[in-house]
Structure 1
Amino acid sequence: MNGKFIVVEGLEGAGKSSVIGLIVDALKNAGKSVEQTREPGGTPMAEAIRDCVKHDWDEQVSEETELLLMYAARVQLLTNRIYPALESGVWVVGDRHDLSSQAYQGGGRGVSPDTMSAISHIALKGFKPDLTIYLDVEPAIGLERARGRGELDRIEQSGIAFFERTRERYLALANNDDSIRIVDAMQPIKSVHNDIKTLINNYVVGV
């Protein structure tokens, strides 16, 4: 594949949207063709699954149901948009990917490592992003920012302990994978953006 897949990860309120916009602009300025995606979502079917995942159902949504829906949406996005784009030389910038499931469902929901590994293997067959940027923010700060955007969805209402477990898993995975870069998202936004610009410029030069 000639294109590169760059993913931005983080808890709610980490500032992913502004960082993604910055990355897209930087890549375009470097002469790259760029496509932007989000998870869950990014295709008509995957967007329908996103609505299903986010909806506050009047019934218990099991951890396994949530996990399988996430991977179903992910495979649809990979098949219909990400793989074709990369193969045609387009760089893809994603708002979340597999690391989110590993952190949210594996860490936050407590789905077993064996289950996580098996489903990831079936769905992704070893595929992973070329570069992942994890925006690290304390859960209390991130959720306060998220509330400022409006009403929280079903997952965002999962409670502070859930997000603390999710952050812990994010950091554990990021610290053991050379393709993941951690950026302190609790800095002033200007400092975060400067870190992102430096990281992306260095990455583009190095590939």
Structure 2
Amino acid sequence: MQRILERFIVVEGLDGAGTTTQMKALAEAFDQAGVNCHATFEPTSSPLGNLVRSVLRKEVVTTPLALAMLFSADREDHLNHPITGIIERLENGTIVISDRYIFSSLAYQSVDCGYDKISALNEFPLPEFIVYIDTPVEACLQRIDSRDNGREMFERQEFLAKVKDNYEMIFSDLPSDVTLLRIDGQKSREEITSYIVGKLRERSLL
């Protein structure tokens, strides 16, 4: 049984679903409520995370398994860094919200590397809350194409359809101690934020 990290909230979804937008909106809601909160993201801005981003932007070429290992190494540091790590912050009473976590690796890297192999690389603690922004692949790709920076390596319809199926498989088998908040990603940004904030208030986090 994987350890559950209390007060740890993870935002998940396909590329283009709006995970970063909602992570920032939630952090703002906590700040406005006077609740100590730390907002973060994966891949991180550490040297490991920046290397992952270089691969995603197709600036560095490597194998799918090497990329999965890089994600895992970045996550290990993100969680367990003795000063800035997620676990250190949680133990000090801070709520942590992360834009992506192990579920992204399981959903994305499993397409090329197989679920069992990626799962073995990601035997990390689970968050208490998962916010899943459930958005159709076509809508995500339209949003990505409306940006100026082009598509990253995973942002293809056939690939993202497999990722979406993987998310469904992962979330169908969560421990009872993990709360999944699923929200329609085609709602407005404000409606999505309002729904999530309401659910977190029900659990006395806000």
Band the TM-score falls in, shorter-chain normalisation? 0.7 to 0.9
Q: Structure 1 residues 58 and 4 mapped into 2: Cα distance closer, same or farther (>3 Å)?
A: closer
Describe the superposition over 1:46-75 as per-residue Cα deviations: whole angstroms up to 9, x where unpaired.
Answer: 33323333231475x322011111111111
Question: 1:87, CA displacement in angstroms?
Answer: 1.2
Give the TM-score of the pair, scaled to structure 1: 0.85
Of 171-180 and 79-88, the range deviating more from structure 2: 171-180
Distance 2:189 2:28 in 1: 17
2:58 to 56, 59, 66: 56
TM-aligned CA deviation for residue 200 of structure 1: 1.9
Does residue 199 of structure 1 match 2:199?
Answer: yes
Question: What is residue 171 of structure 2 aligned with on the other side?
Answer: 174
Report the more deviating stretch, 31-40 or 44-53: 44-53
More helix by share: 1
* Residue 20 (1) aligns with residue 20 (2): no
Could you say if the C-alpha distance between residues 204 and 181 of structure 1 is closer, same or farther in structure 2, counting changes exceeding 3 Å?
same
Backbone CA RMSD of aligned residues? 2.3
**CA displacement, residues 135-181 of structure 1 (integer Å, 9 cap, x when unaligned):** 01111111111121222343244x21100000111122223324222
Q: CA deviation at 1:31?
A: 3.4
- Percent identity over the alignment is 23
Structure 2 equivalent of residue 98 of structure 1: 102
**Deviation of 1:24 (Å):** 1.1
State which of 121, 126, 129 in structure 2 corresponds to 1:128: 126
> Does the 8 Å contact 2:16/2:143 carry over to 1?
yes
Contact 1:41 1:49 in 2 (8 A): no
Q: How many residues align?
A: 197
Consecutive unaligned residues in structure 1, runs of 5 or more: none
TM-score after normalising by structure 2: 0.85
